[in-house]
Structure 1
Amino acid sequence: NKLKPLRQEFKKITLQLTKLLNEESIASAQLQKARSSLVKNSEELARLRARNISIKEYSTTNFAVKKILSLKNAGIYGTVSQLGKVSSKYAIALEVAAGSRINSVVVDSDITAAKCIKLLKENKLGIATFLPLNKIRPYPTQGKSFSEKNHRFAVNLVKHDPKFRNVFSYVFGSTLVVDDIETARRIGVGCTRMVTLTGDLVETSGAMVGGFRRKTSYGFKEEEVDNQIQNLEKEFSRLRNISSVLEKRKLDFEKEIIELKQKKSDLEINITKLEKTTLEEDPTKLRKENQDLDKDFSSVNRKLKDIEKDLLSKNKDLLDLKSKKQAFRERMFSTKSSNVSSGLDSLDKNNQEIKELIAKTDSEIKNLDLQIDRIHLPENERIKQILNQHEKENSEFLAELNSLKEELKKQNDNIKNKESKEKQFYSNFRNLSIKRNRLTEEVQKVETIIIREQEKSKLIGQRINSVSLNKAKIIAEMEGLKKEFEEFKDAKIRRNIGVDELKYEIRQSEKILRDMGNVNLKALEIYDQLKVEHQKLVEKVDKLNLEREDVVKMMQEIETRKKDSFMETFDAISSKFTSIFSQLSTKGQAYLYLENKEEPLSEGMNIRVEMAGDKFLDIRSLSGGEKTMAALALIFAIQEYSPASFYFLDEVDAALDKKNSEMLSKLVKKYSSKAQYILISHNDSVITEANQIYGVSMRKDGISKVISLKL
């Protein structure tokens, strides 16, 4: 009676244990999946956060900007790149459109800006651009309106706080964002400033800057990235909660499994004890069977069939014995033998015990088979799989840990090297700044001394000039006195004459002069002057007659030689022009031709271009870039025929595309060995071929700033 409920309880616990093991396995798989998703989510979140941090760090690469932002002043809002968010589609275009203004610092007022500038000057920290909200004015988007389908104003593509509207209007101006260069050309190059989605820039001057541009992480914050970060943070929180729930659930399952295993073990012990108590009357046989089961559990399966056969035979024997027993009872009752009756009772009892023992043995064998098939073998396989998985994960974790340690070590070493280089750089920068300031002070002192010396030199020069003037005046007066004295140099000096007598003689001479009347004293002088001038005019007339004869002879010689000289020069320049044009352009060939070959000097000269397919065009039918290439080819042809010492070219590549600009730069590089070329250009293809580069920009104080670079 006690054994049956225990066995039922044992069976129930076994089923519960199997169910819990299955649920625990499912929970482990779900936990593993959640952890894997959590790791991937964490890596992606770290990558996106690193990208946002890199944008923030790049905006503070300027030491002056970094110092200003570190002040944590309420009036300093941050850089332009930190205050705006853009769509990933327009990220490159808006970064190029903003240019250097993307790192400008936005402040609340001009007072804050003035304080920051004063701080940078006092500490010699560098230069930064400030945009005060109370002074900055929006850029008027004048001109024709544009459709919203293919192109939009750049300022309308940035999400920002409304109070920064004027700042972004100033940064982008009337820049238009278009799909590609072809769209910009359809709108009209030069009508407004335009930038394509891939970063190609078209200026209002007609300059076009473009090419391959890699996407960087140093521009505006991307709205999609922020949204991804928010979504990933939510997903990360959700996965972490799921992992916590699954871990708790797995721990609860493991706890319940341990408890059920303990209960199962206790029930097995209790069942075994009860079975021993019920089979105490035949302990020898029970011990023998237990020993057989303990020695070789596998032999039970092989003996089952033999036992079944024995059972059949024994059942047959039992039926025979029952029939014999019944007959024997009848005889015994008839003989009333009490001894035989008691013997039969004992045999029945032994027979019943043997049946119970056989039934218990069969039941135990079935229970053992059931436990082996349903519990122990699956559990053993799961444990092996879990162990193998744990060993694999452990080895992977160890390998990953070692690689992360090595990577961490490399990163630490790299950080140390960069920190040391940074310290060295800043120390060198500070030393150079100090040296520059010292040299600036010395230059200022030297310039002051030079200015003083120049002033002294001017004073001395003025004195020398005044002395020279006085000297010339005295010399002139001396010459006049000498001329006046010449008429009296042969006169005799009358001596011992009184003053009164001299006065009397003077009055008499004056009276004689009055009596003579007015006399033209300059007549002789005028006559002499007219005579000299007449002689000069006669000489000039003779000279002009001789020069006229020489000019007439020269004109006759020129008339005979100028046609031959012109044709010789024309043929040389024409052949060089055709050769140079083919080097500058691959679309066709160009020729110089005379409008009147018989009398070339009576009419003009023109340029004809032969395009693909035997199509001839004159210079007026060419595009702006082709006209430029033809003009440059003529210049270089003349340069080869009659070289000059240097050439000055002002934005001659403005109408050229990238390929023609590269061909032009290579040709200029070739001819720069024979003459000096000075070019004004905004084209990267031309600039990269230069030996010396000068960049000129206008500062806010109206003074030009020149930066030179020698390649």
Structure 2
Amino acid sequence: MFLKELEIYGFKSFAKRTKLSFNSGITAIVGPNGCGKSNITDAIRWVLGEQNIRSLRGKQLIDIVFSGNHKEKPLNMAEVSLTLNNSEKILPVVWEEINIKRRIYRSGETENFINGFPCKLKDIQEIFMNTGLSKNAYSIVAQGEIDFILSAKPSDRGYLFEEAASISKYKYEKEKILKNIEEIHNNLDKVFNIISEIKNQLVILEEEAKHLKNYKIGQEKIRDLELFLIYQKYDLYRTNLSKINKIIEKYKQDKCEIIKKIEEKELAINALNIDLMKLNREQEKYKDENYEINNRNKLYQNKLDLIAQKKIDLEKRLIYLKKEVKNISQKISTSNQNKEKVNLSVLEINQKLEDFNNKLNYLNREYIKKTKFINSINLLNNNFKKILKNLSEKESFLKEKKIKYETTLKVININLEKIKEKKKFLENQLKVLIMKENDFRNVTIKKSRNIKGIQQKLNEDKIKEIENNLKKIQLDLEKDKQSVKLKEERRDILKKILDNNILKNDNKIEMFCFKYSQEYPNNICKKLIKIIDQIPSKYEKVIEIALKESLNSIVVSNISTALNIISLLSKNELNEIKLISLDLIKKTKIFSNNQIKISDENIYGFADQIITYSQEYQELFKVLLGHVLIVKDIQSALNFSKEYLGIYKIISLDGMVIDLDGSVSIYLNSMNGQENIFYLEKEIKKLDEEIEDLHTQIIKNKNYIEKYNNIYNSWLEENNKIKKLLQQNEKENADSINNLNEIVLAIHKLKDNLKDILNEEKNILEEKRNILKKCYTFKKDHNTISEYKINIKNLMQNISIIINKRDNHINNIIKNINDVKSLILINKEKLINLSEKKEDVSSYKNEYLLEWEEKKNLIEEYTKNLIKMSKNIEEFSVQIDNQSKSNTLSLKKIEQIKITVQNKSNLLKSTLPEKNNQQKLNELIKDKQHKEEILKVQYQEKYDNLEKEVNKNYNLPLEKLQFYKNVSTSQKEANQQVDILREDILKMGQINFDAESKYNNQLQRYNLLSEKYNKIGEAKKYLKILISEIDQIAMERFKETFNRVRLYFNEIFKKIFSGGEGDLILNFNKNILQSEIDIIAHPPEKKMQNIELLSSGEKALTAIALLFALWKVNPSPFCFFDEIDTSLDEINAEKLASLLKGEDLNKSQLIIITHQKSTMEAADTLYGITMEESGISKLVSVKF
């Protein structure tokens, strides 16, 4: 298989469709930095299945699509196509040419194709597994990754060797199997949970089905009894209704007679009522007339009284007016005298005002002088007040604190008393509980002794011994069965391995020899491997290496037999066969004649002396193995080769072969003995014998189990009787122990509580001490402040005395000033009053004159009115006398009507009680009738409800109830039976009416799931066996590949560096695939050193040596290296070119992106990449 063509379109800088064709040999891709060379590597990695966008030097997936430039628009998709020649069928597909294509759109969607057929990405990845061409393979090295090979951790280098060992497919298959196991495990859990749930449901449903059956029987009996009870009610209601109807009819007849009597009485009463109404109306009429006369008399009398009163008032006013006229005349004469007096008083007051003003000015000057002194004293006093206020606030604060702490102390003392009481109470309780504990302990000891006595009678040890023996035998039986199964699986696996190791042609040879021996029994025709009787297990692999291809050769007796066999080859379709003729062997020079005795513990002897065979084949094995010397190890082989090289073929037990011509072969990986034919055949035979022995042991164990079961059952029955007695005693003992434990717990709890109380008491006492200290401090501060306050108060008292004296003096001055001011004001007011009085006197005189004239006019008018009022009084007196006479006649008629009304009322009163008695009797009958009707309605309602109930619940007419009247003897017995049946049903609990159908469905489901569970379990076991096989194969391949890479690495290292030594060290782990791999590099003329101390060029060459070593072990169809020679100078680049030229690359392809001239010169084909347009790569090709 080789790479034919790579087509890129729209991938990164390749905007235009670009094709690269490849031939065998070396292809170099060159070009300036930034022109897009490495994009070719990224394209190949992407088309082979790389998904990590960062490893493709991008941030997001669409970064690999051409993004455009100033001329070209961005493309909507990128596409890479890889065409491979698969004529050798290296890839597991039917096509001789395969085309892999991947396409990505700017939306992020991707498409994958194999030969034009859409596929999944994993299909592409699976195709290239174990070919060395997967996405992380050693055959494709991206830019900068060459440094990672050496700089990586030893534990991270394993992936290179896994790819070289072709175990990536095994890992992939293992991951798939592990996923399947995980799914199976989950399915098993789910199925198990479902089965467990169904199993539980089946038990419940079975019980529910039984309950349902019993429920139905009980319900039938209850129904019959209920119908019997309903019939009893039906009969009762029917009888009662008949009786009630008769009673109601009798009450109706009595009511009719009473109603007639009531109606007669009502007619008489109505007639009396009409007469009374007429008399009352007539009486009311006379009363109204009397009322009107009285009202008119009152009106006339009121008017008469009013006029008389007005006459008196006028007479009084007339007398008063005459007096007023006389007084006014006197006032006019007095006003003239007062006017003279006022003028004299005004002159006197003006003189006084002038004296008072002079005195006021003197007093104001004295007041100002005294006030200044007082203000300064007041300022000092105010300052003292502020200080005193602050001290008082502080004193109040201290007082509050003191009160607070004193209160706290009281609370603490109370708490301490409570704690002491509680402590005393708990101590007393503790004493009581300790006494109880001792009592219960004694009881428990006695019970324990009784139990021990009973336990000694038990055969528990013997039963346990038998149980243990049974369990052990059953366990051995299961183990033997499991061992048989595992050994059979192991045998089958070994047979498969044996079949894989033996070619199909060899099987045909075996068949051919068998048929030939039957046709020609006198002629020898056997495979060489079959005529060896025994090979010590220690030397099996060594003999296999020594014989090599001869191992499956046919040994014949003579040359004629050989010729006969050759003639039969074509008939038996044998492609290749090797014959050894015994008569020719006798003529062959025997090396064993040169055998010498070497006394050295490192030499085990010659190969022909180690194996066992028939005497007739002695010369054959002398020829084949007589020259093969077997030694202990590689070092021994190298030591003896110096002396016996060319004489003997030397093979060491650990895998080195030094041939006669001096060539050396190493079979390190195959020396473990796991895959040689001798070992496999021997192991298969051994497994067959072990399986047979195990089958025999299984039969024996089954017999033992049957025997022990019989003994176990007899002892178990005897033991159960003793156990019942033991259980009784143990129960009593358990009760005692529980009581003891409760008491012990209570004691511990009390002790803990006591401890807590003591701690609490300690804390409270500590708190009390702290508070007492604070109280002392506050008291001290309070006393200091009090003393300071007293001193300030004394000072303030002295100041107050001074202020008071001064204030008295100032007050006297102020008083004098105020007195003078008031005198001034008084005299001013007097002056004003005198001026006003003077004016008033003049005005009063004029007013008096006007008033005298008005009064004279009024006296004349009042005299006329008095004469008119006397005439009106006489007229009203005459009218009042006439009305009094009419009122006397009305009163006489009212008295006559009252007598008539009284007589009629007495007659009405005598008639009403008779009517009321009849009405009461009627109401009584009505009530009784109503009660009977209510009772009738109730019974009728019950009867109707009963009918509805029977129709609804039992679907029966009432008439058919008589069929159930003999179900029971009495209601009491029926009710008792119903209660018993209902109680039984209640004990059943909730009834599932679908239980029977559900039980059948769940049972069917349970059987199906159990079968499925067993099948899944078997599949899981088979997958685990597959994983162990895969792991074994993978580890064997890894080990073999590592040893081969190690040899090639040393060889290539020496070529590149012209000497020195390179080595790989495998630090074994439990899982060899996860082991660390150290790289040792020892360039010539330098000491052995860590790879980190190498120069960048030496590191690059070491990494290249490892890459080529990996490639030689498992040559991939093509390799793609991106600037692996960047760190190399010209000399080292020439070394790389020399290495490339020295390798046989006719059947392989090597594609290198490079800047080195020497690498370009070593290439068979040269491609150039340029970037003529901004951001667009262009291909130029040159072939040599």
TM-score, normalised to structure 2, is: 0.22
Bigger CA radius of gyration: 2
Higher relative contact order (CA 8 A, sep 6+): 2
